[in-house]
């Protein structure tokens, strides 16, 4: 976040009464996911299915980290990154313990990290699964590379998912995360000449260009979206985010949207917020009437005698 006072930035705090409970709850979830993943890798012989499960495992770990950050009211970036790192290491450890336990026929439950490492190296030299009809076990450097790739995929998936679940700004007065207050999805500048200067001004934190926006035509391929988020009181913390969407269509007729940020978490006061909502409210499309909505009865015209 910028440091000129116009943009929100975390204070670096957390809730000491809630974070330990959130961490404990998250660790329990990762423990269960790690056990399931370890058994799936051991007993499911389909590599593509294993890959799908691995991606799901990484998503689950990342979701757990994001949920822990939210419940623990953690506004400390370093602590959040540390939670991600610990979660990934713990997830790998649990899955390895489970997998090795299954490989050894449920005879040896190895919890000591050093002994576990020695068991992994031993298994790596021998191999446990093969590729193709020959059934020759994959071992040595190739197997080690597969395991490294597995760890990387898990870590990256967990990281990206936890970032997607970033709860955003936190109101220190209310003690709560902000929630969406109002959103305006398809906007454009009423005068095309104002576009370049308006985008630059918004990126610098100016709010005046917002009052040059209006509804975007249905066939436009570039539009802006405005999101207002606020704390429960709707007065202690209000932030503004503006994004730009560029829509393209390829030769096959496939449509793709590229979204870029113009301004994120710009601090605004309640009065400015009210003015923005009042100005942009008419840009929202009118709600369509449901087909099953009750209709006005048609007048009955009596036949003349």
Cα gap 213→224, rounded to integer Å? 9
For 132: left if phi > 0, alpha if psi spans -120 to 50, otherwise beta; the answer is: left
Cα gap 89→192, rounded to integer Å? 52
Question: What are 225-284's pLDDT values in tens digits?
Answer: 999 999 999 999 999 999 999 999 998 889 999 999 999 999 999 999 999 999 998 766
On the CB side of 50, how many CA atoms lie within 13 Å of its CA? 15
- b/e per residue, 12-36, with b = 16+ CB within 10 A? eebbeeebeebbeebbebbeebbbb
Cα gap 28→32, rounded to integer Å? 6
The residue among 144 and 45 whose pLDDT is bigger is 144
Cα gap 89→80, rounded to integer Å? 14
Beta bridge pairs of residue 29: none
Which of 16, 37, 166 has its CA nearest to residue 94?
A: 37
3-state per-residue secondary structure call for 200-261: HHHHCCCCHHHHHEEECCCCCCEEEEEEEEECCCCCCCEEEEEEEEEEEECCCCCEEEEEEE
How crowded is residue 70: how many other Cβ atoms within 10 Å of its Cβ? 17
- pLDDT over 50 (residue 304): no
Question: Which position has the token pair 């370093």?
Answer: 78
- pLDDT over 50 (residue 2): no
As a whole number, mean pLDDT of residues 63-86 equals 95
CB 244 within 8 A of CB 199: yes
Q: Is the dihedral of CA 83, 85, 88, 92 positive or negative?
A: negative
Q: Which pTM value belongs to this model?
A: 0.79
Q: Is residue 52 very low, low, confident or very high in pLDDT (cuts 50, 70, 90)?
A: very high
Domain-wise residue ranges, the chain: 19-167, 171-283
Question: What are 96-106's pLDDT values in tens digits?
Answer: 999 999 999 99
Q: Is residue 129 very low, low, confident or very high in pLDDT (cuts 50, 70, 90)?
A: low
Q: What percent of the chain has pLDDT over 90?
A: 70
């Amino acid at each position: 976040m910028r440091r000129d006072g116009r943009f929100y930035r975390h204070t670096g705090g957390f809730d000491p009464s809630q974070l330990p409970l959130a961490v404990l709850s998250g660790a329990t979830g990762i423990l269960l996911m790690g056990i399931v993943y370890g058994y799936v890798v051991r007993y499911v012989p389909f590599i593509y299915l294993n890959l799908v499960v691995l991606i799901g495992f990484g998503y689950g770990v990342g979701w757990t980290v994001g949920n822990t950050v939210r419940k623990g009211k953690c506004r400390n970036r370093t602590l959040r990154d540390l939670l991600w790192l610990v979660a990934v290491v713990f997830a790998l450890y649990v899955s390895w313990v489970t997998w090795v336990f299954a490989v050894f026929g449920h005879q040896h439950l190895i919890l000591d990290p050093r002994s576990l490492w020695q068991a992994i190296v031993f298994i790596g030299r021998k191999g446990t699964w093969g590729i193709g009809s020959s059934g020759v076990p994959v071992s040595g450097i190739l197997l080690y590379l597969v395991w490294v790739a597995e760890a990387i995929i898990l870590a990256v998936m967990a990281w990206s998912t936890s970032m997607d679940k970033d709860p955003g700004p936190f109101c220190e007065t209310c003690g709560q995360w902000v929630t969406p207050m109002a959103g305006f999805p398809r906007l454009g500048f009423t005068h095309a000449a104002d576009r370049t200067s308006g985008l630059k001004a918004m990126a610098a934190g100016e709010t005046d260009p917002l009052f040059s926006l209006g509804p975007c035509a249905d066939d436009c391929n570039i539009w802006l979206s405005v999101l207002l988020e606020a704390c429960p009181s709707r007065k202690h913390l209000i932030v503004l985010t503006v994004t730009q969407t560029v829509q393209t269509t390829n030769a096959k007729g496939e449509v793709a949207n590229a979204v870029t940020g113009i301004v994120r978490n710009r601090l605004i006061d309640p009065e400015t917020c009210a003015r923005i909502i009042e100005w942009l409210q008419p840009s929202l499309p009118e709600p369509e009437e449901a087909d099953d909505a009750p209709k006005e009865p048609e007048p009955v015209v009596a036949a003349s005698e």
